[in-house]
Structure 1
Amino acid sequence: MTPLRRVLALVAAGVTLAASTTLANRVLPGWAYPVCGLVAAAILVGCGRAAGCTWMDLGLGRVRRPAQVGLTGAALIAAVFGIALAVPALRTVYHDGRVGDPDFTQLLWLTCGRILFGTVLIEEVAFRGVLPALFGASDERWSWPPILASAALFGLWHALPALAIGRNAAVHAVFGTTPVAVLQVLAMAAAGVAGIFLHWWRHAGRGVLASAMVHFTTNAGGLTLAVLVR
């Protein structure tokens, strides 16, 4: 991978991500959200391959080990959700005004449509696959610079979604009248930390599938709990 090809691929990936988040959060109708994610993910993989990254570099070359590690992570997340559901004092975390009142069909669409393809797919391909590879990450060793760079961009990616974070009951109870801009920055910082956590699963599993399974369980499980306790 030559430096020029890497830089061009990073620029193309950045433009793709900026266009994708703008279209998904400000322009396209709800049904197009997962379609946008699928298209953007394909473009990002193309950027990585054009720069000279192998499928292994992108975290897309293995299935068995990532699936095993991902299942372990998903089970741990599910256990945490079970505890939260069983302890009344913890349920406030899942009182979220953004959820609405979906029926079963709508919940299935939100989890297996919007979350799986519109959120998890593009975010894992981009921030645990393509970008770390372009920044020089390797499965053989943990390297902070590319991981932190990808995590920082993951936090920035959440700039528009973070504007609604104050509608979560627990966040509102803790931060009260804190300005929206401050909450937005805090939410972006939290997303950056989550990006490091997710990259650990990708690194442990030697593939994006591992972090994607943990990511999907976290988001879909959180939404399902929010619907159950509303």
Structure 2
Amino acid sequence: MLAVCGVILLLVALNVADHYVHGSSLWLGPLAAVVLLVLARAIGLSWSELGLGRDRLGTGLRWAAVLIALVALVYLVGVLIPLTRDAFRDDRYHTGAAAAFFTAFVRIPIGTVLLEEVAFRSVLWGLLSRVLKPRWVLISTSLLFGCWHVLPSLNLAASNDAIRNALGGSSGAAQVVSVLGAVIFTSLGGVVFGELRRRSGSLLPSIGLHWATNALGVLFGLLAWRLSA
């Protein structure tokens, strides 16, 4: 459990640094992911325990491709229906096409998905699997994943049209509710990602779904703003 505590402390430091040092995730994220994998291997975790075994590569890629396609289909329908379009109109992504594509294909996969998946569904998952039953591995990594999103969601009520309208503004109370909602929502997302990791034996399906829900949200958000113009 000492190794688990060390990983959690490292993630807390990285989360704070990413929140207060603009652009740090693009270099801190990949560096931290490599460090975590090196430490995990040094401790004795196998590539299979980390969800990176070659024997599950093909299965993982197939699962990931199907999940990405499903998310794209759901988002497309959501953007095309006026009633649900506001959910995609996030002020943070009200940008030009170049910025949106950079965010979707560079910032999110390198600065967000890589570290989070390696940390929560690979290294922590592997370490906890040695001392906890599968159900508790899933619950604990999901809760930690939810808590990881406290700082990134602090301005959620002010930046997202649908959330701001639902909460009646962006006051302090609305921000608290939006943060709690984000933690609960991402914890549930962690359960989904974790189940994919457990059932497939590979990290790739959760990486694919994680990237799709975030990056395609940016791209379809751009489309939503264009359709609303």
| Fold equivalence (TM over 0.5) | yes
- Determine helix, strand or coil for the equivalent of 1:158: coil
2:108 corresponds to: 115
2:25 corresponds to: 33
Deviation at 1:215, TM superposition (A): 0.9
Equivalent in 203, 208, 218 of residue 203 of structure 2: 208
* 8 Å CA contact 1:69, 1:204 repeated in 2: no
2:118 corresponds to: 125
Q: Which amino acid aligns with 2:110?
A: F
Matches within 5 A, 1:110-189: 110-136=103-129, 143-166=134-157, 167-177=159-169, 178-189=173-184
The alignment yields a C-alpha RMSD, in angstroms, of 1.7
Would you identify which runs of 4 or more consecutive aligned residues in structure 1 move more than 4 Å? none
Q: Distance in 1 between matches of 2:94 and 2:87?
A: 15
Indicate the percent of aligned positions where both proteins have the same amino acid: 30
Deviation at 1:137, TM superposition (A): 6.8
1:56-114 CA deviation, whole Å, 9 max, x = no partner? 0111113211001111111111110121122111101111122232x332222211211
Q: Distance in 2 between matches of 1:193 and 1:137?
A: 23
Q: Which amino acid aligns with 2:124?
A: L
Deviation at 1:213, TM superposition (A): 0.8
Q: Which amino acid aligns with 1:195?
A: G
Equivalent in 21, 45, 48 of residue 53 of structure 1: 45
1:98-138 CA deviation, whole Å, 9 max, x = no partner? 2232x332222211211001111011111111111111179
Residues 163-172 or 150-159, more deviating: 163-172
Deviation at 1:220, TM superposition (A): 0.7
* 8 Å CA contact 1:128, 1:199 repeated in 2: yes
* 8 Å CA contact 2:76, 2:220 repeated in 1: no
Deviation at 1:8, TM superposition (A): 2.5
Question: Where do 5+ consecutive residues of structure 1 fail to align?
Answer: 1-6
2:6 corresponds to: 12
1:22 corresponds to: 16
Equivalent in 86, 90, 104 of residue 96 of structure 1: 90
2:98 corresponds to: 105
Q: Distance in 1 between matches of 2:121 and 2:195?
A: 9
- Determine helix, strand or coil for the equivalent of 2:17: helix
Deviation at 1:51, TM superposition (A): 2.5
* 8 Å CA contact 2:61, 2:204 repeated in 1: yes
Question: Where do 5+ consecutive residues of structure 2 fail to align?
Answer: none
Q: Distance in 2 between matches of 1:26 and 1:171?
A: 24
* 8 Å CA contact 1:67, 1:209 repeated in 2: yes
Deviation at 1:203, TM superposition (A): 2.3
Equivalent in 65, 73, 76 of residue 59 of structure 2: 65
